[in-house]
Amino acid sequence: MKIFLYSVGLIAVALAAVVTTVQIPSVQGILLEREVAQRASNIPEDLFVDDAVRVTLCGSAAPMPVRDRAAACVMVIAGGKYYIVDTGNRSTNNLALWRIPSARVGAVLLTHFHSDHIGDLGEFNMTTWAQGRPGPLTVYGPKGVEQVVEGFTRAYALDSLYRTAHHGKEILDPAVGKMVARELTLDGDSAVVLEDGDLKVQMFRVNHSPIEPAVGYRFDYKGRSVVVSGDTTKVETTIKFSQNADVLIHEGLARHIVKRMEKHFASKGDKRLEKIMLDIEDYHTSPIEAAEVANEANVKELVLYHLVPAPPHALAEWFFMRGVKDIRSAGVTLGYDGLTLVLPVGSNEIRQLNLDARY
């Protein structure tokens, strides 16, 4: 007992000494300098080494509120540049936190114009401009993208003026801070978005009726491939454009959970939320259906994102994934913000890492 009390006393004295020491301004100065230097240098340049395609979830949730997850956002890195599929709200915070270098931005590609896919477009444009993007931001999308870009541009026009006035044209040139909309017309079910060296990006039609058009994207680079579904039901075009893909990032709505929510709201007499729950059930894909899509397309790894509702803890993740293993016993990952898949060129390997854990 004596030894225990003696140890507790020693620890208390040591803690008091630490607390006293960090109050000293010169000590704080040293600690702050170290912290600033560490954060400033923590740029993930390894993600941009041109030996692999990499894909990171910068947002794994949908409109339903949840902690620690941004709304829909996927970053695909290939050929030294990164491409952002959808800028869901809070996704720019993730990208800035992970110190993704703005000088390497390729383009933004929008799947459709629901707010959980476009909410951060203005923030993404403003943040990457301030952090040194070399030119205007290109925003690809189906019909409607011009209107969306025009709207965000107008909403941020005053802020752009403030920034240039404050920091000067040398630092924040308004010509660089612009967004340029590139509206693509589907030729049948698809369109080529861009071909840049070894990178080819295609857009394909999905079914998110009554939202029309809604699209997904396929990225091919040096024999490796990534498909992002956007919001859709289980649809033939996703299966067609995901054939033999390495990674399929597919949306998932756990219908069995949403049905329960619908019944709960009905029992409470909340007609509005009951109706909304009912309406969303039939224009998304269940995790089981997404597993079927991945199987039918012979995809190596299926990653579920745009999770409705996004599971807030491990137990909820089990509920969310109920029945998936019966359809697809391996090659399925439930997405989270920061999940990164590395696809080395010249191999079939797919490695996973958590980018968020570095920060």
**Residues in the site for Zn ion, rule: CB under 5 A?**
62, 114, 116, 231
Bridge partners of 141? Answer: 183
Kindly tell me which of 130 and 186 has the beta carbon lying closer to Zn ion.
186
Buried b (16+ CB within 10 A) or exposed e, 22-36: eeeeeeeeeeeeeee
The catalytic residues are 116
Smallest distance, Zn ion to C-beta of residue 95, A? 19
Q: Which one, 53 or 118, has the nearer CB to Zn ion?
A: 118
Is the Cβ–Cβ distance between 324 and 291 less than 8 Å? yes
Q: How far apart are CA 154 and CA 196, in angstroms?
A: 30
Dihedrals φ, ψ of 40, to 5°?
-65, -30
CA distance 100 to 350: 21
151: exposed, middle or buried (Cβ count in 10 Å: 0-12, 13-18, 19+): middle
Q: Tokens 């490796």 map to which residue?
A: 224
Q: Helix (H, G, I), strand (E, B), or coil: what is residue 266?
A: helix
Residue 17, burial from CB neighbour count under 10 angstroms (0-12, 13-18, 19+):
exposed
